Amino acid sequence: MELKRVVVTGIGSVTALGLTAPETWKNIKAGVSGAGPITNFDASSFKTQFACEVHGFKGEDYFDRKEVRKMDRYAQFAIIAAREAIADSGLNLETADKDEIGVILGVGIGGLTTFSGEIQDYAATREQFGPRFSPFFIPKVITDMACGLISIEFGLRGPNYTTSSACASSSNALIDSFNLIRTGQATMMVSGGAEAAIVDGGVGGFNSMHALSTRNDSPETASRPFSGSRDGFVLGEGSGILILEELEHAKARGAKIYAELIGGGLSADAHHMTASHPEGLGAILVMKRALKDAGISPEEVDYINVHGTSTHVGDISEVKAIKEVFGQHAYELNISSTKSMTGHLLGAAGAIEAMFSVLAIKEDIVPPTINHDSEDKDPEIDYDLNFTFNKAQERTVNVAISNTFGFGGHNACVVFKKYTE
């Protein structure tokens, strides 16, 4: 079978740095931190009291009030980003073959906002009223509902499901969507991820694992990947959506093309529930598989949007993996962690970082890794590598890859290339 080519023709996002993709990307290029004190709930008694929240967001601005009651925050983010991405693609839904358009999203946790609120209400009222729950409790909590709601809103009847592999979830979704299109099982896919876990259960749970930064005195500088004083990641929320489309279909309707998706890889660390393999064995394997699938050599890669969470073991192991896979070429690459600005969007991280990789190719600019002091070094990190510290860098970006690694040892890597005929 001759595999079809797959291109990106639309993007949409909701993040702590903006309610649209252009606003988010503008702040990413400028090195703006999205971190600040938590306002979603009273975090004054928590070890971590800050996060990268989506501010200025009200569901009622986008949905009927009755509909807001039926959707968890994560699903609202997903639908809003999908609306933007579909509009950006220029697709005419009146004439499109909706049987050939599907939706696959990656969601790691799902309706934690709803779950946390309902359980608190139940605990407070169970003695008086017994087990009383909202009829929307289950539909709002389950991780597949955002996919379903997007298909319902736009009438998309193609493949529709959710991938869940912790922080690799939305990269898995992109790879699945890519494979469906290139094997002829779909013409277009609405793909990405969404997450909204900045609630007491999310923050408290990650705190108990010692996974989050506790730099409460300076939230905006807390996410500092590859710096010696890093002390954990900063929790983020939001959604990123990409429209993936078969090339000839995109050309036939005159669609603009951001970049081409040319490969994807998957692997497992088979090591630990939450820690990455200290030598980066799973990361090495997933990057090699992605490059093989894309049919390119390591020397053709210009930029890596790394997983780069700002955790001690994770950052070190990813650096080791990059040096192993790319050899001497590792020193010619640009590397950056945009989590230093957006925070860690968990299941949505891969999608939003894929979007940044696509825009880096489109505009020939590499976004920075912020919050690094040249004196703040880790002896286990090789600073001869170009981490694009603190300031975006202009350079030709023909090929970019994006790494995402999830709890449970799940690894995913996607490869994008500048589109040419």
Q: For the domain that residue 195 is a member of, what is the CATH number?
A: 3.40.47.10
Domain boundaries, position 381: 7-417
Q: Whole-prediction pTM value?
A: 0.96
b/e for 175-209, b at 16 or more Cβ within 10 A?
A: bbbbbbbbeeebbbbbbbbbbbbbbbbbbbebbee
Q: Is residue 335 part of a domain?
A: yes
pLDDT per residue as tens, the chain (421 positions): 799 999 999 999 999 999 999 999 999 999 999 999 999 999 999 999 999 999 999 999 999 999 999 999 999 999 999 999 999 999 999 999 999 999 999 999 998 888 777 666 656 666 666 676 778 888 888 999 999 999 999 999 999 999 999 999 999 999 999 999 999 999 999 999 999 999 999 999 999 999 999 999 999 999 999 999 999 999 999 999 999 999 999 999 999 999 999 999 999 999 999 889 999 999 999 999 999 999 999 999 999 999 999 999 999 999 999 999 999 999 999 999 999 999 999 999 999 999 999 999 999 999 999 999 999 999 999 999 999 999 999 999 999 999 999 999 999 999 999 999 8
Let me know if 344 is a catalytic residue: yes
Retrieve residue 418's tokens: 């500048």
Q: Is residue 113 part of a domain?
A: yes
> Structurally, how many domains does the chain consist of?
1
Retrieve residue 386's tokens: 């170009």
Q: Which of 277, 307, 372, 410 is catalytic?
A: 307
Q: Is residue 242 part of a domain?
A: yes
Can you tell me whether residue 117 is helix, strand or coil? helix
Q: Is residue 376 part of a domain?
A: yes
Q: Which of 277, 344, 372, 410 is catalytic?
A: 344
Q: Which of 147, 167, 277, 413 is catalytic?
A: 167
Can you tell me whether residue 379 is helix, strand or coil? coil
Let me know if 307 is a catalytic residue: yes
Q: What whole-number distance in Å separates Cα of residue 25 and Cα of residue 88?
A: 15
Let me know if 167 is a catalytic residue: yes
DSSP-derived pairing of the beta strands 410-417 and 259-268 = antiparallel
Q: Is residue 2 part of a domain?
A: no
How far are the Cα atoms of 151, 179, 240 from residue 156, in angstroms, in the given order?
Answer: 5, 18, 19
